[in-house]
Every structure is written in C-alpha cells, then in structure tokens.
Chains A and B, each alone.
Chain A
Amino acid sequence: MPNTGYANWRFESTPGNESNTPTLSTKSLFTPHIEAGPNEGIEHLNRDDENRGLGEPLPVLPETYTPEWSLEQRIYPDALGFFLKLMFGAPTTATGDGIITDQDSTPIPTGAFRHRWDTSTWSDGLTPQTAQATFAYADQSLFIKHKGAACAQMQLTNPDTGGSRMSLEGPSLYGSEIADPSLTPSYESTSIRPFMHGDLDLPDWLTNTGTTSEFEMTFTNPVEAIRSFAIASLSPDSMERGDDLPTIAGSIGKRNIDPDDQAALRNATAFAATARYVSRSIIASSYPYKFYVVMSNAQYVEGEVGALTNSRHIEGSFNFKASAAGAAAAVLELVNATSSYG
C-alpha cells in the first residue's frame, strides 16, 4: 500500500506569519520529492535555575518556535522553476513563438516557455519571496502547515546514476499542526524526465581545463526569520534578506590535474562558464526541456590537487563562484512547459 502523504507548495503574496493571511498563488505544486520535511525548532523554557526550594526539575513552558524546512528531489523542470522563483523571485518569462531563442540561439517553439533569472536584479528589496507549504503525513493523520517559507539554499548534484538532484532548505516564519486539508495531489507523468548526469555538459569553461569528473552547483539566498515585536507570537514574524550576498557557486572535480586550472586558481583568472542541461523529454516540436547557468565571470576561489603518488591519474578539485564584472554574474534560464509561476 503506497504512502498517501504529500507536500504541497504555493507562493505567498507577502510572508505569512502567525497572524496574517497572505494571498496564495494560482500556481500549486505537489512535489515528487524523495524526502521532504518540516522541523518546528521547538525550544521550551527551562526554569530549573529558579530558587524555589525544590530539588527537582520544574515543568517546561512553550517559549519559542523556529521552524525550518528541507526537501530533496530529482530536478524536474516544473519544480525547478518553482523553487528558483522561491529563491530569486519571479523570472522574466517569455512565451515560445518560434522566434525567441535560448542561450544556444535555438528558436523556442510554441508550447514552450523561457524563464530567466538575472543576478543583477535578484536581490532588490528587503523582503524575499516566500511560500506556504503543507506537509501531509496522511497515513499518520498529521498535517503540518508552514507559512512564510523562504529558500536559503539550493544544491544541484549530478551523481552518475539516480538522476540529478536538488536539495533545498530554508527557514519558515510559522509552523502549525492543522486539520486534514483534504488536498488530492496530482503529479506530472513520469514520461517527463528529470534532468540527469547524462543531460549535463559544460560548453564553456576555462580554456584547456583538465578533464572533468564531477560537477555540482550551490545557489544561496541569505534570508533571516526575525522577531520584530510586530505581533505577539512565539514564532518569528518577519522574513528579510540577510546582509550576505546571494551567490551562484559550485565545485568541479578534475580526473587529472592540469596546470591551467592551478594557474587560474592562483591568479583568480576569470572565465566565461556555462552549465547546460538538455533533457531527453520533449516539450513541443522536437524542442527539449533545458536549463542553463551562464556565468559571465567565473573564478576559482578554492582548490586542491591530489597527493603526488605513483598513479596515472592525479585528481584535483576546485570551488568556483560567479562574480559580476561589467555584466550580471549569472543568468539562469529554464525552458519548460510551465506558462507562468504566478
């Protein structure tokens, strides 16, 4: 008997806290996750330090809740766009018409939609995008709703097998147990494939770089759930962007070290870099699902070469980040069948 639980996500018009009721988006996503879950961050008040002439622990009291959430799933194109909006705000969406093009200058046909995030504008304003999430442990009759859920980090990994994965996490403002919302989940057909290791290539990277063995990316979006005394609540009431800058970064493993990579690390050499996923699933008119991360000014920021041993291959690993030098640090472009993330 399959598990009937589900997780449902909808964007909020304003971060939801214990007392407000934000408008929820039309867009409703049931995630085909591998793992998803809330963490209520419950910390009770411990009063054992009080001088009451008692030699026994005192009852605790509810004091603070600091909810968080996490989710891991394969990189399905519709869900990827949802969580990219949750991290970086609404994309610029264009409808395929056979004339607009993708990052490869390939025309995008009718039925496909191009969603683009440009890092030069993504952190405008103090308030990040948030969502309401419902975690339904239906078989156990436990339903937890999170309001004001922001996404602080997305990690994209590409194992050889098992499909490329995205791991997400972030703080929420308010979590609570609720009555069964009686939602009925719907999921895209499994004929829509997730992006996989074999769909990924790096058409642009440092010239004469060594042979690549691994590649992963981490997007960060610093956010803070704060208690501002705006409402009386044991939970945070306001979600704000943090002081740290959002980043597009990652790591690249080399099967064999190369002097060009080492020199680029030492000299902070900037290079144009593109990571490109092209699915084997078609959207329309032979045009496949695609996802690009285009970095105008990537640099290695950390790295190491393997120990010198009696081996034909000596591996290396480098961390990189996208930086802005006269152009947006990165453009994220997703072409899928979702007309809007509104």
Chain B
Amino acid sequence: MSESKTQGLRLTLGGAPDTPHTIPGVPGLFRPNVPTPVGGPGEIDAKLAKKLHDDKKVDLELVDIPKGKVDDARATAQQDVMDARHGLLDSRKARQLAGREQERQSEQAASINAVTEGGASNA
C-alpha cells in the first residue's frame, strides 16, 4: 500500500475560470486548476469525496495532490473561504441581495459554515 497521499476535489465544469466555485448542497469551494484537499481536519471526509466523484451529475473529480503542492492547495482553499466570507459580508452591506441571488448567498453561507465547523460528511 502506498504512503498516505492527499487527495482533493477538482471542479470539472467545462470552461470554468480558475476561480472558486460553489455547488449547491456540497460543502466547500472548488477550482478547476487547484484541487480542494479532502480528508483532513475541517475538510470534506474521504467517503463523501468519493461519493461526489462517483456522482456523474456533479462536476467534481477526486485527484491526487502531489506531495509538494498540498500545503499550497490547503492555503488556497482556506483563502477562498475567507474571500467568500468577505464577499458575503460586502454584498449584504451593499444590499445587493435579491431573489435568487439571496438564495445562492444562503447556499454559499451553508457551504462555508459546513466546511469550517469541523468538516462535513453529508451533502
């Protein structure tokens, strides 16, 4: 059996820009070029990650993260969460919320909170 390796979920939405994305019902944020690590503290657990990978309706792929890139991937994932929080705070302040966007904001808030409250094992 190989050494414990770190895996991550990569967004496979066709043509997506290399920016963080949310998926309703799935905790966390995901990029096409930088996998979001899974299995660690505060991260999606490996079982859910595999389930998301196997679900062909969800544009996520479980990939191995090279050892030398794990720290950078984790830092990116954490920064994306922080930036998303600021985005939420700023948009609420600016009263941009309207209709479907308000619902999308709520979904994103749920995703962020699920990730940061000790990880998530349910989609």
* A interface residue numbers (CB < 8 A to B): 2-4, 10, 25-30, 32-35, 74, 78, 111, 161-163, 182-194, 336-342
CA distance in complex: A195, B62 (Å)? 33
19 contacts between A and B (CB under 8 A): A25-B15, A26-B15, A28-B15, A34-B98, A78-B17, A162-B95, A162-B98, A184-B24, A184-B57, A186-B16, A187-B21, A187-B104, A188-B19, A189-B19, A189-B29, A190-B84, A190-B88, A194-B96, A337-B18
Shortest CB distance B80–A (Å): 7
Shortest CB distance A286–B (Å): 15
Chain A hits for B83, CB < 8 A: 189, 191
Chain A hits for B70, CB < 8 A: none
Considering the complex of A and B, which 8 residue pairs feature the smallest CB-CB distances, nearest first?
Answer: A27-B15, A191-B87, A2-B103, A337-B17, A191-B83, A189-B20, A28-B14, A26-B14
Chain B hits for A340, CB < 8 A: 15
* B interface residue numbers (CB < 8 A to A): 11, 13-24, 29-30, 55, 57-59, 80, 83-84, 86-88, 90-91, 94-96, 98-101, 103-108
CA distance in complex: A193, B94 (Å)? 12
Given A3-B103, A189-B108, A190-B104, also A111-B21 (CB < 8 A) = no
- Beta-carbon contact of A25 and B104 below 8 Å: no
Given A2-B24, A34-B98, A162-B98, also A188-B103 (CB < 8 A) = no
Given A32-B104, A184-B59, also A336-B17 (CB < 8 A) = yes
Task: Find the residue from B17, B59, B96 having the highest chain A CB count within 10 A.
Answer: B17
CA distance in complex: A2, B17 (Å)? 25
State which of A25, A32, A74, A337 has its C-beta within 8 Å of the C-beta of B19.
A337
Shortest CB distance B35–A (Å): 15
Chain A hits for B58, CB < 8 A: 184
Shortest CB distance A103–B (Å): 21
Chain A hits for B22, CB < 8 A: 186-187, 189
State which of B29, B87, B100 has its C-beta within 8 Å of the C-beta of A33.
B100
Given A3-B100, A182-B57, also A189-B87 (CB < 8 A) = yes
State which of B16, B19, B88, B107 has its C-beta within 8 Å of the C-beta of A2.
B107
- Beta-carbon contact of A186 and B23 below 8 Å: yes
